[in-house]
Structure 1
Amino acid sequence: MKIDRIDAQILNELQQDARLKTTELAERVCLSATPCTRRLKQLEDAGMIDRYVTLLDQEKAGFPVNAYISLTLEPKSEATFRRFEQQIATFDEVMECHLMSGSHDFMLRVVAASLSDFEKFLQKKLIKIEGLRDVQSSFSLRRLIHKTALPVKATA
């Protein structure tokens, strides 16, 4: 989808504060409320805006542990991958799952309240997945950069 300068401004403003009232958003992007509402609806209908969410502070919410897990599956088949994707989607601890290029098939970002809770996740859930051949975990010691806003620029 091509977006112009005003659409880019709307998206950037909403990425900073999704609770903005339409009148405030319109003022910030130098539009009246009606055209701003129309543009917002078009962006939603086109799927550019996926959903509106509240971002929690991970540590204050009780999940200070961030683990990055590289996984390899065997056999390398569509059925094995599909089964894995279906199972991993049911685990609340898994915040992200990416199909990867390179030596590992998948990369997960997992949160936990403690290392003990992470170990329970690993032992009681993850390693029970059929077809799992290799698991390598790394832990974040400190987050240096955390962005949730995409760098939206006009394309039209």
Structure 2
Amino acid sequence: MGQILDSTDRKILTQLLKDARQQNTQLAEAVGLSPPPCWKRVSRLEQAGIIRGYTAVLDMEKLGYPEIALIDITLENHAHYPLEGVCEKLAALPEVLEVHITTGDFDCFIKVAISDTGALERFLREKLYMIDGVRGTRTSLSLRRFKDVQSTLI
């Protein structure tokens, strides 16, 4: 596929971002194809790794986690505490929604779902600060989310 998408591929991806559970017949109609070629295109996008999978989008607030903490993390020493190893430990924590290795003043960034500031304090003390190699953090609380989608670059 060469990672080059035509306008029909982009329409398919846009429709799947809106509703990945729609039937192939609905998808085909929405993008102006008949079902067989639409199915082939979706299969090709999956095989090329452009579509990595399908998942449910959960409402964290309704699940009891209305707050999002954004935490920048610095490590003690990269030689003794490899960044990838620390990130794997962070990713294993159930509260952590995202883990990113970053440039700049911090080594990595995590997005954490919490119920309240008490839960944030417990997360920091009992989990994050217990990971070997974590030297420091900077935490911000999200006041309101304006955008939460995978991509609009298609």
TM-score bracket, shorter-length normalisation: over 0.9
Paired position in structure 2 for 1:102? 104
* Distance change in 2, residues 1:36/1:78 (3 Å): farther
2:64 aligned with 1:62: yes
Runs of 4+ in 1 over 2 A off after TM superposition: 76-80
Distance in 2, matches of 1:35 and 1:139, equals: 46
2-side partners of 1:51 and 1:70: how far apart?
28
Question: 46, 53, 56: which one pairs with 1:44?
Answer: 46
SS of the residue corresponding to residue 96 of structure 1 reads strand
What residue number does 2:152 align with?
Answer: 151
| Candidates 124, 128, 131, aligned match of 1:129 | 131
Deviation of 1:103 after TM superposition, in Å, equals: 0.6
Q: Deviations over 1:30-84 (max 9, x none)?
A: 1110000000000011111111111122211211111011110021238521320
Name the SS of the counterpart of 1:84 in structure 2: helix
CA distance in structure 2 between the aligned counterparts of 1:64 and 1:28, rounded to whole angstroms: 34
Contact map agreement 1:11 1:152 (CA 8 A) in 2:
no
Q: Given residue 49 of structure 1, which amino acid in structure 2 is its aligned partner?
A: I
Distance 1:72 1:58, change over 3 A: same
Coordinate RMSD, CA, aligned: 1.4
Partners of 2:44 and 2:124 in 1: CA distance: 43
Q: Distance in 2 between matches of 1:25 and 1:133?
A: 49
Aligned residues: 152
CA contact (8 A) 2:20 2:54 kept: yes
TM-score (norm. length: structure 2)? 0.93
CA distance in 2, matches of 1:12, 1:94: 27
Deviates more, 1:107-116 or 1:18-27: 107-116
Could you say which structure has the greater relative contact order, defined with CA pairs below 8 angstroms and 6 or more residues apart?
1
Distance 1:50 1:35 in 2: 20
Structure 1 unaligned regions, length at least 5: none
The secondary structure found in structure 2 opposite 1:135 is: strand
Question: Is the contact between residue 70 and residue 110 of structure 2 (CA under 8 Å) also seen in structure 1?
Answer: yes
Distance 1:22 1:55, change over 3 A: same
